[in-house]
Structure 1
């Protein structure tokens, strides 16, 4: 499991981790990503959407932690885990559909948890059953094909800026 801590780069050095700086006050640029949290029952799901920079990924919020910087400052971070999934389930091009979109599936489930139309859609794509499907509108979809597994380490690099927003269940 890959783990991304959305803050300072020195967090979780013993874990296979990826650290990203978080920018809440600045306006998103082409290299920044926008993360939105959606929470359903006891777990949070993260949807990462790139405005113009490229494809996004989905992950699950594992929790919060804090650590000390070298100057003694305490920094809080959100730890996001990326489970099985982040597989391209559909590619729409402007030539056939009028716009460029890549649909990504996340979090494997059993077939009886999905509706027949969802199962048919995923079987047609030739991918495993996924609970969450999210479309990402892109400028170009040539490098993506159905069944392609997205690697989080290729999409996010150390020092990338990430905007985060959260939707809770109101507890």
Structure 2
């Protein structure tokens, strides 16, 4: 299998063999249940759909309730398709973190970044502001400055870095090393930081 669905637990640090402190993220990866096996004959492409996280049946739509009952499992909160897989997987089969990842593997993690709301150019793009506080620069410390010319081109070019909504977008962080796998608690410890808040869903891909 090429990946699993997980939940970000938080960040901590571990010590390497030479005594160096390494910042890392703890992720609860699995157990994930195979909720659908897509084939060329039935769906036009090959893929495995995995489900993760428990959900009450009364909060699940009736079509999804039937979908999960067909797989012989309880309703799941998160469904993700994986198109790269080698082994034969059966409907209702459970995959744990030890079945997919091992220490020393390099993985990519996909998540939804924290939402920052509407932000100015200093926070959003790293602008320094306009001038100092003297020489008539009143209340201009965090302003964007000029954004376009006057008579030509008489408009603002597309892509100009301005204030706007920041965060809350899909982010992929690549080539993170798996430092430790704890199969008893379905935990995987990955070097560095991954996008998203605590308890948010992430996708771990090999």
TM-score normalised by length of structure 2: 0.51
Q: How does 1:95-134 map to 2 (within 5 A)?
A: 95-134=41-80
SS in 1 for 2:66: helix
* 1:45-84 Cα distance to aligned partner (Å, 9 max, x none): xxxxxxxxx332111111000133243322100001135x
Offset of 1:139 from its aligned partner? 5.6
Aligned residue in 1 for 2:90: 145
Query: Structure 1 residues 139 and 55, CA, compared in 2 at 3 Å: closer, same or farther?
Result: closer
Larger Rg: 2
CA distance in 1, matches of 2:62, 2:43: 24
Alpha carbons of 1:58 and 1:127: their partners in 2 closer, same or farther (altered >3 Å)?
same
Query: Unpaired segments of 5 or more residues in structure 2?
Result: 117-206
- Corresponding residue of 1:59: 6
Q: Aligned equivalents of 1:105 and 1:166: distance in 2? A: 16
**Aligned residue in 2 for 1:163:** 108
| Residues in 2 aligned to 1:165 and 1:125: alpha-carbon distance in whole angstroms | 26
Q: Which position in structure 1 is the counterpart of 2:187?
A: none
Other structure's SS at 2:115 match: coil
Quickly say closer, same or farther: Cα 1:158–1:126, change in 2 above 3 A. same
Using the alignment, how far apart are the partners of 1:61 and 1:139 within structure 2? 24
Task: Kindly tell me the number of residue pairs found equivalent between the two proteins.
Answer: 116
> What is the aligned-residue RMSD (CA, Å)?
2.0
- 8 Å Cα contact 1:109-1:129 kept in structure 2: yes
The normalised TM-score by structure 1 is: 0.61
